[in-house]
C-alpha cells in the first residue's frame, strides 16, 4: 500500500515539471507489479525532479512579473496640462456660496439668553442686522435676531447660538451664486466698454443733435452700470457675510413692583399735592377778575348812594 502511494506522488510531480511525452515514457506500465519498484528509487526521483525544475520555475516567474509591470514613462514624455484646464479646476474649487440658517431655540432665561445671543455676533466678527420681539397672553415671549457673520465663521456662530437653549428646529441652506456673479460682472465689463465708446463718440459729435443722441444713450448705459454694480456688491456681500435668523422663545419677565415710598417721601408728596391744588384754584379764579371788580364797584356804590335813594320822595 505504501509503495502504491509513493508511485502516485511520483507521477504527479513529473507531470507538473516535465513534458507530456517524457511523462508517458518514464511512467511505468500500469500492468507492472508494484513490488518491482524499489523504495530507494521512489525516494530519489522526486528530489531530482524538484531540483531540476526549480530554476525553470524561477525564470518563468521573473518573465511573468516583467510582463505585468511596465515602467512608467519619464516626466518629459508625459502630456502637459493646459492652463485652461488648471483655471477651470480652480474655478470649480473656489465656488461663491451664499449661506443662511434658521434656528429656533427655547430657553428658561429669556432676557439673559437674548443678551448672550447679541454677544455672539460681536464675538465672531459679525453684527445684528435686525431684531423683532413680541409677548403673548400666555406669558411667553419671542424675539427674532438676524445676525450677519463672516462665512468662514458661520458654523461656529450657529453652534454657539444653538447652545443657548433647547433647539426646536434648525435648517441651513447654501446657494451657489457663482454663475450669477460671473454673469453680472461680464455684462458689467461689456457696459463699461460701451460707455468708453460713447464717450469717444460724444467727443467726436459734429452737431447738437448727435451730441444729444449720444448723451442719451450714454446716460442709459451709465444707469445700467450703476444697477449692475449694486447687484454685484449685494451678491458678494451675501457671500462674504452669512445670515442667521435665530428665534428665541421663553417665559416673559414680569417687571418687579416699585418699592413703597417712606414717610418723608409721602409728606413731600402731600405738600406738593396741596401746592398744586392751590395753584389750580388760583388759576381757575383769575379769569373771573372782571366780574369781581364789577361786584366790588356795585357794593361801594350801594353803600354810598343807597340812603339817598331811600330819602328821595317818589313822583306823584
> Domains in the chain: how many in total?
2
Is 269 inside any structural domain? no
Same domain (yes/no): 145, 6 = no
Average pLDDT over the chain reads 74
pTM as predicted: 0.50
Of 231, 255, 279, the last residue of a domain is 255
Same domain (yes/no): 240, 138 = yes
Same domain (yes/no): 99, 248 = yes
**pLDDT tens profile 201-259:** 999 888 999 999 999 999 999 999 999 999 999 999 999 999 999 999 998 775 555 67
Same domain (yes/no): 100, 238 = yes
Looking at per-residue pLDDT, the higher value among 41 and 153 belongs to 153
Same domain (yes/no): 23, 121 = no
Same domain (yes/no): 117, 223 = yes
Is 137 inside any structural domain? yes
Is 200 inside any structural domain? yes
Is 274 inside any structural domain? no
Domain that holds residue 11: 2-56
Is 146 inside any structural domain? yes
Q: Which pLDDT does position 95 carry in this prediction?
A: 86
Same domain (yes/no): 101, 247 = yes
Same domain (yes/no): 118, 8 = no
Is 268 inside any structural domain? no
Of 255, 280, 304, the last residue of a domain is 255
Same domain (yes/no): 142, 216 = yes
Query: Strands 97-106 and 241-251: what pairing?
Result: parallel
Same domain (yes/no): 102, 51 = no
Q: Which pLDDT does position 73 carry in this prediction?
A: 47
Is 116 inside any structural domain? yes
User: Taking 80 as the threshold, does the pLDDT of residue 129 lie above it?
Assistant: yes
Is 206 inside any structural domain? yes
Same domain (yes/no): 251, 104 = yes
Amino acid at each position: 500500500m505504501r509503495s502504491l502511494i509513493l508511485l502516485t506522488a511520483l507521477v504527479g510531480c513529473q507531470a507538473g515539471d516535465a513534458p507530456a511525452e517524457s511523462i508517458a515514457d518514464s511512467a511505468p506500465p500500469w500492468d507492472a507489479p508494484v513490488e518491482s519498484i524499489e523504495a530507494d528509487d521512489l525516494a530519489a526521483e522526486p528530489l531530482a525532479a524538484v531540483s531540476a525544475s526549480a530554476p525553470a520555475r524561477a525564470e518563468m516567474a521573473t518573465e511573468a512579473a516583467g510582463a505585468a509591470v511596465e515602467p512608467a514613462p519619464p516626466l518629459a514624455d508625459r502630456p502637459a496640462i493646459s492652463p485652461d484646464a488648471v483655471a477651470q479646476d480652480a474655478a470649480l474649487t473656489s465656488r461663491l456660496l451664499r449661506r443662511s440658517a434658521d434656528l429656533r431655540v427655547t430657553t428658561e432665561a429669556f432676557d439673559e439668553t437674548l443678551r448672550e445671543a447679541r454677544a455672539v455676533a460681536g464675538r465672531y466678527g459679525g453684527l445684528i442686522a435686525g431684531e423683532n420681539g413680541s409677548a403673548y397672553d400666555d406669558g411667553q415671549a419671542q424675539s427674532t435676531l438676524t445676525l450677519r457673520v463672516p462665512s468662514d465663521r458661520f458654523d461656529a456662530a450657529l453652534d454657539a447660538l444653538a447652545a443657548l437653549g433647547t433647539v426646536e428646529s434648525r435648517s441651513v441652506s447654501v446657494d451657489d451664486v457663482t454663475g450669477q456673479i460671473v454673469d453680472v460682472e461680464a455684462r458689467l465689463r461689456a457696459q463699461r466698454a460701451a460707455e468708453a465708446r460713447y464717450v469717444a463718440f460724444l467727443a467726436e459729435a459734429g452737431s447738437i443733435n448727435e451730441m444729444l443722441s449720444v448723451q442719451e444713450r450714454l446716460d442709459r448705459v451709465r444707469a445700467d452700470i450703476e444697477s449692475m454694480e449694486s447687484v454685484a456688491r449685494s451678491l458678494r456681500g451675501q457671500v462674504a457675510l452669512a445670515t442667521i435668523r435665530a428665534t428665541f422663545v421663553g417665559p416673559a419677565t414680569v417687571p418687579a413692583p416699585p418699592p413703597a415710598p417712606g414717610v418723608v417721601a409721602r409728606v413731600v408728596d402731600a405738600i406738593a399735592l396741596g401746592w398744586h391744588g392751590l395753584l389750580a384754584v388760583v388759576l381757575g379764579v383769575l379769569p373771573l377778575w372782571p366780574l369781581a371788580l364789577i361786584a366790588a364797584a356795585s357794593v361801594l356804590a350801594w353803600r354810598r348812594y343807597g340812603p339817598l335813594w331811600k330819602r328821595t320822595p317818589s313822583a306823584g
